[in-house]
Structure 1
Amino acid sequence: MAHTPAPEAIATAGRQLAELGLSRGSAGNISVREGETIYMSPTGAVLGDLDPGDLAVLDVDGAHRAGPRPSKEYPLHRALYRRDPEIRAVVHLHSRDAAAVSCLPPWSPRSAIPPITPYFVMRVGQTPLIPYAPPGDARQADDIEALDFPFRAVLLQNHGPVTAGTTMAGAVDAAIELEEASAILLSIGDRRPVLLPAEAVDELTRAYGSPWSR
């Protein structure tokens, strides 16, 4: 299969997320890492209209190398790249249901959302809630880097989701599945859901390599 250049992958992902209604207006940002270079959607960009030739280009330390100014949320992306050298793409959205769940108390210290469906466990894994800070505040990136357990997605308190993947498709799939799990959780409301048993969670994480720990 031919390799899709990072700028084209970002533009394609932006269109997909916008078409699904997960990015409205100029909300959200996307990045891809290739070696020591990170390509990122510019500040204020509409994800559905991204131009592959007009992306911000940075190095892994955050220095701006070319193109327009990157999103102010760049530290969140860098934190996930630093945590896991296998990560190649990061998606940050303000999608409605995941943002709503980010306004609720977390299910546990390690995941804002419980193991509500096998697909959430398989495609996303445990998703910690990161304490609130103003958008662009590097404290949230510091909080992400400081956590001592595995994950590839977070919810920013009163803000929205950030997902990461070893491919752009994986990061996008995780964002979609996180939104779906959030919608299911909200639809259950105050009723107590039946969660996946621990043995099923263990089986899924072994089979799919998704992060979940007790």
Structure 2
Amino acid sequence: MSTGAATALAAAGRRLAAAGLSPGSSGNLSVRTPDGYLATPTGHSLHDLTPAGLSVLDLDGEHRAGPAPTKELPLHLGLYARSPQVAAVVHLHSVHAVAVACRVPPDPADVLPPYTPYGVMLLGRVPLLPYAPPGSRTLAGLAGRLPPGTRAALLANHGALATGGSLERAVEAAVELEETARLHLLLGPAAPVRPLTPAQCAELPART
């Protein structure tokens, strides 16, 4: 395991949690290493991340050491397979991004207007992926087919997704995505919302 990468990933998770962008045990991060990937573990709060508590995966995404990885691992691996330039992935359930992801946008290919220079520079166009169950291969497939150059996206009724050529860039994009979503809710016109259907609710396992 890359000690430096593990230290940086754990610190990034704690930073995002301290900023209020990862409620409960939600949210997951990963980083590409020369030997494979490091990912946050399933069912653990980002508040408590330590370098020793990360999941270690090989180049094929197979779990090799540490706790079991996040159930969203297929989503992360789909993004890495899509682009060799992606060095890190951040997936959050931050409140404002989730709120925008529950809306029905005029243009799903670009759901956030260019409000600020920083949003444009860090995010570019932000598409909204159709709803798919968390952790599903369907969701991973949708993410893997994002247009070339996409750095951030919203997952319908689910959350936010950001990538970067470094872990720091991915974290910056995730923070900017939440801030731009907050601006959109403050400035943008009201839009219809999209609740989950009864069928979509029924296929989700209960958590006790």
1:80 to 1:158, Cα distance in 2 relative to 1, 3 A: same
1:76 aligns to 2:72 (yes or no) = no
Mapped partners of 2:47, 2:92: distance in 1: 13
Paired letter, 1:59: D
Mapped partners of 1:36, 1:182: distance in 2: 35
Q: Which residue of 2 aligns with 1:205?
A: none
Paired letter, 1:51: T
1:14 to 1:147, Cα distance in 2 relative to 1, 3 A: closer
Mapped partners of 1:149, 1:89: distance in 2: 16
Within-5 A mapping of 1:131-142? 131-142=130-141
Q: Which residue of 2 aligns with 1:200?
A: none
| Equivalent position SS for 1:190 | coil
User: Given that residues 36 and 61 in structure 2 are in contact (C-alpha distance below 8 angstroms), is that contact kept between their aligned partners in structure 1?
Assistant: no
- What are the ranges of 5 or more consecutive residues in structure 1 without an aligned counterpart? 192-214
| Equivalent position SS for 2:89 | strand
Q: Number of paired residues?
A: 190
User: Given that residues 56 and 69 in structure 1 are in contact (C-alpha distance below 8 angstroms), is that contact kept between their aligned partners in structure 2?
Assistant: yes
Within-5 A mapping of 1:157-196? 157-190=156-189
1:107 to 1:52, Cα distance in 2 relative to 1, 3 A: farther
Q: Which residue of 2 aligns with 1:117?
A: 116
Mapped partners of 2:130, 2:19: distance in 1: 28
Paired letter, 1:37: G
Using the TM superposition, give the Cα deviation of residue 106 of structure 1 relative to its aligned residue in structure 2, in angstroms: 2.9
Mapped partners of 1:87, 1:183: distance in 2: 26
- What are the ranges of 5 or more consecutive residues in structure 2 without an aligned counterpart? 191-208
TM-score if structure 2 supplies the norm length? 0.86
Q: Which residue of 2 aligns with 1:204?
A: none
Within-5 A mapping of 1:16-165? 16-165=15-164
C-alpha distance after superposition, 1:127-154 (max 9, x if no partner): 1111111110111111122234420111
> What root-mean-square deviation, in Å, do the aligned CA atoms of Structure 1 and Structure 2 show?
1.8
| Equivalent position SS for 2:52 | coil
Identity %: 51
C-alpha distance after superposition, 1:23-64 (max 9, x if no partner): 121010011111241000000111011010121111233211
User: Given that residues 82 and 145 in structure 2 are in contact (C-alpha distance below 8 angstroms), is that contact kept between their aligned partners in structure 1?
Assistant: no
Mapped partners of 1:142, 1:23: distance in 2: 24
Mapped partners of 2:86, 2:149: distance in 1: 13
Mapped partners of 1:167, 1:79: distance in 2: 17
Q: Which residue of 1 aligns with 2:196?
A: none
